[in-house]
Structure 1
Amino acid sequence: MYRECGVRLRDSMREKGVDALVLIGNGNVVYATGVSWPLLDAGLSHVERPVAIVLADDPHPHLFMPLREGSAPVATDSHVPADHVHDPLYLEFDEGIEQFARVLADLVPAGGTVAVDELTGAMRRASSTLFPSGPPLDAAQVVGPAKLVKTVDQISCLRRACRITEEAMVDVHKALAPGVRQIDLSAAFTRRAFELGATANMLEAIWQVMPTTKTSGAVWTTTGDLALPLLTTERELERGDVLWTDMSITYRGYCSDFGRTWVVGDEPSDRQHAQFEKWQEILSAVLAVTKAGATSGDLARAATAANGGAKPWLPHFYLGHGIGTNAAEMPMIGTDLGEEFDDNFVFPAGMLLVLEPVVWEDGTGGYRSEEIVVITEDGYQSITDYPYAPYGRV
C-alpha cells in the first residue's frame, strides 16, 4: 500500500509539474507516508500534527512526527526509512516557521515548484521566505487525483474501519432508551470502537434529534432548511425522538462513515415507514446507474427523478461523496459546484462512494442513512452491512 500510493502520488506530481509537496492535513499525511497515529481530539492536530514533504525524485517521503512522551507507537504499514523520519515541525508558530524554512531550503531544489495542501497563519506571514520562487500551488490538484482510485489494501482497511464502527453501533443501539443522554451514547460508542481496534475518532458522534417540522427547529440555516449536523450535548432523549446518527473512525488511517435513523423507545409510524420506503426507492434508483463510466450528474438526476423532481438531499450538503483517508473526499455530488461539474466527473473503477439521500416530510422527523459502495466496471460492491431497524416492515 505504501509503495502503490507513493507511485501514484509522484506520478501525479510529475503530471502537474510539481517538484515538492508539503502536506499538513492529517488525511494527506496518512496517504503519503502510510503512518497513522492515536487521535481522539482532532483539534490537537492543529498544534501537534505530523507533516510530510514529498519530493518527485525521491521514492520515500520525509516525515516530521510529533509523539508525546510515553505515548503509544504509531500504527503503521509504512516503510519510511529512518533517515527520512525527523523531529516535529510546529507550523502554527513563527518560531517553528524559522526551522521549517531551513528544512525546505535543504530539501527542495532552488527554483523548484512547491504545492501545499494547507497554510497556517504563520506560514502565510512568512510565505515569501518559505517559497522564494513564488506562491505555492494547491496540493489538492495533485493529491486528489492520486487518492481517487483505491488499492486493494486501502479498500481492506476501509472495510475494517466500517466493521469496527458497525459492531460498536450494535451495542450503542441496544442502549438507546428514553432518559439516555446524547453524550452517554458518544461515550459508549467511542469506548467500544477503540476496544475493537479503531485508530482514531475522526468525527464527534452525531445523535441529532430531528424537529418534527422545519419551522419548529431551534436552529436555522441560511438556506432555510434543516440544520445538520448539530453537536452532541447532555440532552436526555425522549420517547419518540427521531435521531439522525453520523460518525466516523479510522483504522490505520482509513475512515468509516456511518449514518442511520433511529426512533427512541418506540416504533416508527406508518408515515415514517413510508418515508423509509421512499428512501429505499431513491437509493435503488441511484445504485441502478452506479458503475464505472457514470458521472456524478447521472446519480443526481436519478435521485431527483425518484423523488418526484425534488432533490433528496440537504442544500448545504450533497447526495454523496468519496471517502478514504478523509471521511469526505471528492467527488461531492450535487453541491453548488453545479451541474456542469457533476456531469464532467466520471467515475473510475476502484473509487469509493458514500450515498446519503434524505427524505423529509413535516411531522415525521425525516429519514437519512448512509451506504458505502466500491465502483466496479459493471456496477458496484456494497461495503455497508448494518440493518435499518426499526424502519422497514421485515
Structure 2
Amino acid sequence: MKNIGVKIFAYIAVVLMLASIAPAMAVADTDNLQDRIQERDRVNLTMDASNDGVQNQIRQVMNTQERYGEATENFLRIKANNSALNTEEAIEATKEYLNSTIDVMIESLENEEYIEKLNEEKEDIAAATTRAELAECAQDIREIWREARDERTSSTTTSINNKLTAVMRISETMTLRLENEIARIEKNGEDVTGLQEMLVEYKAHIAEAREYQEQAMIANTNRERQSQGFQNMKQAGLSIKEANAVLGDMLTELKQYREGLVTLSADETLTAEGDGTAVLSGDFVLSFNADDAILVVKDMDGDAKVDTEGASYGYSNVDAGNSDINNRAFVYHNLTGDVTIEGTRLTITLRGTDISLDVAGNGSVMFTGNGTYELNGEESKWTASYVEEEKEAESEDETPEPEEQNDI
C-alpha cells in the first residue's frame, strides 16, 4: 500500500514548496502547483479493493492527499497577500501546510527511522512562533526527505543488482551450453552461420548489461549520482530482456537440429520411457506413469481434463483453489502413479523419474534427460542437452523492471 503513496506523491512539488517558506527563496508557482494537484486527482486508484482493509488504506491515502491540497491552496492564498508570512493567520496556515506535507511524505515511506524523524518535526512545528523558526523546520523536513529518497534509491538499486548478478551467472552457463550445442551441430555438417551470429548478439547484450550494472553500482556509492545509478540499473534490465529475446530465437532455431524433439500428427501414437523432462504442446490425450514428479498443465482453451485418481501427490494448487490463475495452470508436486490428461491447446511439463507415457494427438513433444521414445516403429534417444531447462531457469529469475524514481 505504501507504493500508492509513492505514485501519488510523485505529482506534487513538496520540496519546491517547502523552499518558498524561507524569505530568501522565490515564491512558488501557484498555477503549476494547481496543475499538479489536478493531476494527482486523476491518478488511477481502481485497483481491486474488495478487501475492507485495502479499501480503508486507499481512503486514508486519498484523505491525506486531499488535506495536503487544501492546506497548500490556503497557504498560497495567504502568501499571495502577505509575502512576509508574519501574521498569526499566516503562521497557522504555514504550520498546517508543513504538517500536511509530513503526512504525505509518511504515506510514501516504509523506513520507520525516517517516519519517526518526520513526526518529531511536528513537535518543532507546534512550538514555532515565527517564520524563521518555521523556515528552519521546512529545511529539516527537506533534508529528511532527501535522505529517505536516497536511501530508498540505494536499497532498490542493490536489490536489483543482486538479481542481475544471478541472471549473469545463468547467462554465462547458457553461453557455454549454446557454444557446445552449435559446435555439435556444425560437426554434423550443418550450416550454423545464423546461430553463430545470434550467439554473438546474445553475448553483446549480456556484456552491455554487465557494463550498465557496474556503472550503476559505482554511482550508487555517490549520493549525488544515485539517480543516474538507478537509471543504469534499469538499462541493464532492458539489455537482459533484449538478450532473452535473442535467446528465444536461438532456441527456436536449435530445435530443428536436436534429438528428442518429436512432431506428432493425429494418426500417430508416441510412447516413451526415461528419467528427465517431457514438454508437450498441442491437442493431446496423454497417459503416463511417473515417480516423484512435478506436473504442470497449462490449459489455454479451458477444456483440460486431468485425472489423478490413480496417483498420489504432495501438493497441488488445484486443492488450494488457485488453479485459475495464469490461464488455468494446474500444478502437482511429488506426484507418483498413473495420470491421464486430455484437452486442446495444452502445454504440459512433466519432470520426474521412471516416466512411462503414451500420447496421441497433434503438436510437438520434447524429451530431455536419459530415455528412449518410439514413433512409427523407430526408436530414438532423449536429448542429453539442458539448454531448454537453462532457459526456463533464466526466465523464472528474470530481473523485474524497476519502477520510475521521481526526483521530487
Q: What's the TM-score once normalised by structure 2's chain length?
A: 0.22
Give the number of the structure whose alpha-carbon radius of gyration is greater. 2
**Of Structure 1 and Structure 2, which has the larger fraction of its residues in helix?**
2
- Report the structure, 1 or 2, having the larger strand content: 2
